[in-house]
Every structure is written in C-alpha cells, then in structure tokens.
Structure 1
Amino acid sequence: MRGILASSIGVTCAAALALPLAPPAAAADARPAPTAEAATRAAVTTEADVPGSTQSLPLHLLTRERASGAAVLGLAPRTVRNFSLLGVVWDDPAAELHGRVQVRTRSAGTGTWSGWQDVETHNADHAADPGTAEDTSGRVRGATAPLWVGPSDAVEIRVRAEPAQKAGAGPGSAGTPAGGADGIPLPSGLRLELIDPGTAAPPPGDAADGPRTGAMSAEATAASAANAGLAPLGAAEIPALTREQTQRELLASRGAEATEAAEAVEPAEPAGSAGPAGPVEQQRAKPYIGPRPAIVTRRGWGANESLREKGFVYTGKVKAAFVHHTATGNNYTCAQAPSVIRGIYRFHVRSMGWRDIGYNFLIDKCGRIYEGRAGGVAKPVLGAHTLGFNSNTMGVAVIGSHSSKKPSSSAVKGIARLTAWKLGLNGMNPKGKTYLKSGGGNLYRKGKKVRLNVISGHRDGFNTACPGGKLYSKLGSARSTAARYQGR
C-alpha cells in the first residue's frame, strides 16, 4: 500500500559577502578583518536558531582559454564564513555541466591552503524519478556531487568549459554561451554552495544509554516515531539484534498482519477445528533474514528536521538495493561521518531542492550504518538515489569516492549486513535477480521491465560511473556475504 503525505517548504540559501584575497599563495594566507558592511550582511543572512548554514556565491567569468576560447568561470581566493562541504549548482536540472570543476580551500585550523581538488561534475543520475512530485516541484536544480573539505574559511574555484570536440556536442547545448564558439556552453546560474553542517552531534551510545534528552520538534518526533517498535522515541541508535531475535520479530510481525487480513475477510475458525492451515500458520515458515544491524538514527547523526518537507512518501515492496558512493572524497574520519551526512543532507535539500536527503541509508568507512531519508528504516521509503529506479528499491551510499580507491572491508561488510536484513524483510535473495519497471532514464525507456541483480550498482540502472569501479567490483562479495547472513 502506498501512502503519501507531502508538504512544501521553501528552499533558501543564505548568501554571504566574502572578501577577496590576492591570488598569490603567500598573500592568500593573509586574513583581512571583515568590513562593517560584510559583518552586517553576514549577521542578516545567518539563519537564526538553525544549526548549520549555506553560503551561495555566484560564479563569474575569470578568463577565456586562448586556444579554444572556452570560458573559465569561478571565484578568486576569498575569505568566507566557516564551511566543511561544497558543491556547484545551476538553474536547469536537465542541463549537464560539460567541463572541469576544481577548488582549493584554506583550513580554518591551520590557515594553510589545500592543493586543487576535482569535483565530480555529473550528478544528474542521483535524482527523483521523472514526473514525480519531487521532480516537478519547481525547486530542483542541477548540481555537481558535493565534496567534503573539512573545516575551512576561504575558497577559490575555477570551472573550465569542455571543448566541443571532446564533449561530442555542439554549441546548441542547454545553458549560456559561456563556453565560447568552440566550447560547450556551461549551464546558466552557476553558484558555489558552501555548507556548514552545524555542530557535531555527540556519538550515539548503546541501547542501554536510552534516548537523547531535550525537547523534540514535531518533525523530529515524527521522524523518530517512524521507527516505533525498533527503538524508543528519541533514540540515537536502533540496536542490533541476533539472527534468532530478528527472525522472531519478523514472524511476529507477519503473524499479526496475517491475522488482521484473515479476520477482515473470513470469520475465525471454531476452537478445536481441524481445518487447513490458515494465514497465520503459513507465516510460521522460518524466514531467510540476516540479523538486524545497529543503525544510527537521524537524531543520532543530528538531522535538522526543519530542513526537509513534512510527511513521508512510501513505495511498494523493496525488491532491490542500489549501491552508490557519495563521491565526497575520502578525507574524512569516522568521527566526522555524521557531519558529512549533515552536509550532504543540507546540500540535497537547500541547494538542490529535494524534499530530503536522497539516500535511504549511508555507510561510513568503518562500516557504521546510518538512517537516510526519513520515514522509518524498516519501511519502504521512496528515495531519490537512482533516476528511473527509485520505486520498489532502496539506495545505499558508501561515504567516499571509489573510482580509484578501494572501499574498506568494513564498508563492504556493512552493505552485506544491511541488505541481508532489509531485503530479508521483503523476502528477497541477495544473490538473486528481480524485475523492476523503469521510470525513465538514459539506459532504459520509461515503462520497460528490466531484470537486475537484487543488489545492483547504480550504473546497472543508469549510465554513470557510480558507485566507482573499485566499489562496483566488490558487489559480488557483498551479495554472497548477505546471502550467508540470511542463512542461504
């Protein structure tokens, strides 16, 4: 049964006035005091009583490459309010950024500048399905992947348009003619988004520590209540169960559902009758399901529930899991993972215009599992992770970039533990295949039924490099391990 509750919240980005620094590295390390005008604007644009913030800075033409005439847009080195994650957005979500985005940042702790880092430019494959309410809200923007840079207080960025010959497209591509006569036009409205994820949440304890204290907003209460039966209201973590405990929990749930269904269509059998096995007895077969892993809740990683849209959107049975990487880089510690998630969450909602974070679950390099989109970890929450295949699936994102770097064995094990449990709730074999109907994308037309692995990589449903070749090559191991956890 599909239930939909939705309401809109405006998407705003607080613009900040930043002070340009001299381009040379030595001068760039200097920290000029803010002017009175800059300080006033910063105070006005800071969001009151909301942890974290977003600075949105328009990009300008810096120069044109002499050989091709292609534009280079960006910003000269400048001091800004503290941030830890960044990305680039533009007006038209259907437009692609053909070019190279590079940034360098200044550490707020040491005052030293990083080297130039590349930002993953193609992010349109992570999105709500075409034609859905989330896709057609009018708030959605095109975007790069976000990049985690750690606590920083200055930034420099350059965006080089890709030559037409390399991109294989002409000047009629969507966007402005910023690419020049021989370059692919860059999308219009390019802006650099600088995300402060807010104060780090204290690490969640075990179940014995009980729920977090403190008043909860209505939105936070609803998000926590969606996990009723799994953890107390306000809990920072859903505790792990053994496989036997998980099986008993599932059988009890199935039995209650079967009893309700039977009572709704037929009268109860008289006591002592010896009729055929009823719905309850049929549910008593030992299920194939892995032990429920510990899962850090949204309250555990410090989600600001006022950012997302109210209400939850559900899909049908979870028939498959799509594995992703966040492409946010690998320069984070496991203690920083909640901050990285808060940054991605704010980028998805405030900068990109989505109703909530796109992934259903996230896993850090230490193998710790985090609740993603709100609505309940055991429920079929509709995400925005695999364009065309968000219905009847779940999206699992490993925090990091895995095109050239292998994922940790702990992260791969985390995928197996999570999918063994969640797919087991829905009776799915992690080593099996299933049919999914495409919602439309660049690999499969809308309405086409596609046979895919129950645990698939993002690239299986959309023409993309995600989840990176090094992570994609580990999915076979994740499938086998998940099936073993299920007792298959």
Structure 2
Amino acid sequence: MVWGMRKCTVFLSPALYSILSPPHLCEIVRTGTRTAPSSRHNAAAQGIQCCHLAGVFSGICGGGEVMELQDTEQQNSVSLEIIPRHEWGARAPTSQTALNMPVTYLVIHHSAGSRCFTPLESGKALRGIQNFHMDTRGWWDIGYSFLISEDGNLYEGRGWDTEGAHTLHYNKDSYGVCFLGSFTDETPRSAALQKVEILIRTGISRGHLRPDYILKGHRDLGDTECPGEALYEHIQTLPHFQP
C-alpha cells in the first residue's frame, strides 16, 4: 500500500482482482481501514464514484481519499499487515543471524497450546513461547519467523530477515510459520488459513521466498506430530506442498 497526497494503491492477486471486476467493489480504503464487500450500488451510496479503465479501479471517497485497485504480476499480493514485536511485548533477542534470501522452504508448525481468538490471548501466548524458547531452551529469541492467531492476525517473530530456530537442519533456508493452538482434531479458522497464503504471496513478491518454494509440515522434516493431524491434512491441499 503506497500513501501520498491522500492516494492509496492496493495490489491484488489475479484471483482476488477478478472478484473486484464490475459490478462489485470489494475493498474501500479509507485512512487504512477496509469495509466489508459491497455492491456498486452500496458503494455509490457511500459517496464513491467508480470507473473501470485499463484494468484499474479508482474510487473517490467522501473524505477526498483516492483509491486505486490494480492487478499486476509484479505485485502479486494483498497488502499484508504484520503486527510488530513491540506490540506483543517481545523481549530483545540476545543475538541474530541474517538469512540468505530468497529461501527455499516454508515450514508450517502449531504451538500445541491454547487457541488464541483475541490480541490479548495472543500476546500472552507469544510471550510465553518466547520465554520458553529463550529461558528453557536457551535460544536467542522466539524460534518462529511468524505466528498466526485464530482471528487472522499475523505476528512478527524473527521476521523476514533473520534466521529462525524452528526446524533442525533447515533454519538457514526456511521460514517457520506457527499457528497458535493445537490442531490435531480441527483446523484453524479460515481467517488464519487465508493469512498464511497471503504471507506466501507477499514473501515471493518481495524477494524473500523463492517462486518455486517448497511447503512442508514440521513432521515432514523431523520426528514430531507438529503441526497436528487436521492442519497437516489441510496444508497438503495447498500449492507447492511436498511431503
């Protein structure tokens, strides 16, 4: 998302962009917020004028904000919000090692703890995981690259640039994404599952993840039940999965 002169550009994947074609306008950006999908009639009622020219939607909102929705192969991602470490109360790492990007693997984990449905629950779980990794296991920081809660929030762990500690022998060439909760009997909610797919597309478009990346469950690379049977069954249906 690029802001300037009260103008915002949102880049969408081709699949999502097709949803936005007339007669529907799916996203209305007003100072960083989104509305629910609405018909063109409802959008007009909100003071929005829409046009469809050369693959670009432009909307002029009541407050004067200008929005553009653009489909491009070079920016094949929806704007992704990652909640930074300071917002969940992370401790500073004791050391760091840079990743050599783009990496090859994206490894799915679960925390095997309580499922988190609110930011308050997630923050408590994240701090607990970090304390366990640092104080009990003796690691430099929380081990995962990113963590996802049931409400679809995506939290920064070690992030894009730093080597994780989540999958033995693969940390130097992978990102570890952990779903907060135990997912042996049921999968995470759809908001959480959709977020990891957006994360993957964003990683590719920004050069962090190889376009021919390989998706794995933690159990594929180690002696563990992680990420739980139900979640593991789901990720086998996703593109680029290899057992």
Q: TM-score over 0.5 for the alignment?
A: yes
Q: Tell me if structure 2 keeps the 8 A contact 1:412–1:478.
A: no
Distance 1:243 1:463 in 2: 40
1:174-223 CA-to-partner distances (Å, cap 9, x unmatched) read xxxxxxxxxxxxxxxxxxxxxxxxxxxxxxxxx9xxxxxxxxxxxxxxxx
Per the alignment, residue 461 of structure 1 pairs with 221
Q: Tell me if structure 2 keeps the 8 A contact 1:415–1:478.
A: no
1:234-274 CA-to-partner distances (Å, cap 9, x unmatched) read xxxxxx97226xxxxxxxxxxxxxxxxxxxxxxxxxxxxxx
- The structural deviation recorded for 1:288 is 5.8
Per the alignment, residue 396 of structure 1 pairs with 177
Q: Tell me if structure 1 keeps the 8 A contact 2:145–2:160.
A: no
Q: Tell me if structure 1 keeps the 8 A contact 2:11–2:75.
A: no
1:293 aligns with 2:80: yes
Per the alignment, residue 194 of structure 2 pairs with 413
Q: Tell me if structure 1 keeps the 8 A contact 2:147–2:154.
A: yes
Match of 2:145 among 360, 366, 374: 360
Q: Secondary structure at the match of 2:210?
A: coil
The one-letter code of the counterpart of 2:100 is G
Q: Tell me if structure 2 keeps the 8 A contact 1:301–1:342.
A: yes
Instruction: Give matches, 1:292-371, under 5 Å.
Output: 292-305=79-92, 308-310=93-95, 312-317=96-101, 318-330=103-115, 332-334=116-118, 335-371=120-156
* Bigger proportion of residues as strand: 2
Distance 1:474 1:424 in 2: 24
Unaligned ranges ≥5, structure 1: 1-206, 208-239, 245-284, 435-453, 481-488
The one-letter code of the counterpart of 1:319 is T
TM-score under structure 1 normalisation? 0.33
Which structure has the larger Rg?
1
- The structural deviation recorded for 1:459 is 1.4
Q: Secondary structure at the match of 1:296?
A: coil
Distance 1:457 1:241 in 2: 34
Identity %: 30
- The structural deviation recorded for 1:458 is 1.0
Per the alignment, residue 210 of structure 2 pairs with 428
Q: Secondary structure at the match of 1:319?
A: strand
Per the alignment, residue 11 of structure 2 pairs with 243
- The structural deviation recorded for 1:319 is 1.8
Q: Tell me if structure 2 keeps the 8 A contact 1:289–1:425.
A: no
Q: Secondary structure at the match of 1:362?
A: strand
Q: Secondary structure at the match of 1:242?
A: strand
Q: Tell me if structure 1 keeps the 8 A contact 2:148–2:154.
A: yes
- The structural deviation recorded for 1:400 is 0.3
- The structural deviation recorded for 1:464 is 1.8
1:384-411 CA-to-partner distances (Å, cap 9, x unmatched) read 0011111121000000001122221111
Aligned residue pairs total: 173
Q: Tell me if structure 2 keeps the 8 A contact 1:319–1:423.
A: no
Match of 2:235 among 468, 475, 480: 475
Unaligned ranges ≥5, structure 2: 2-7, 13-71
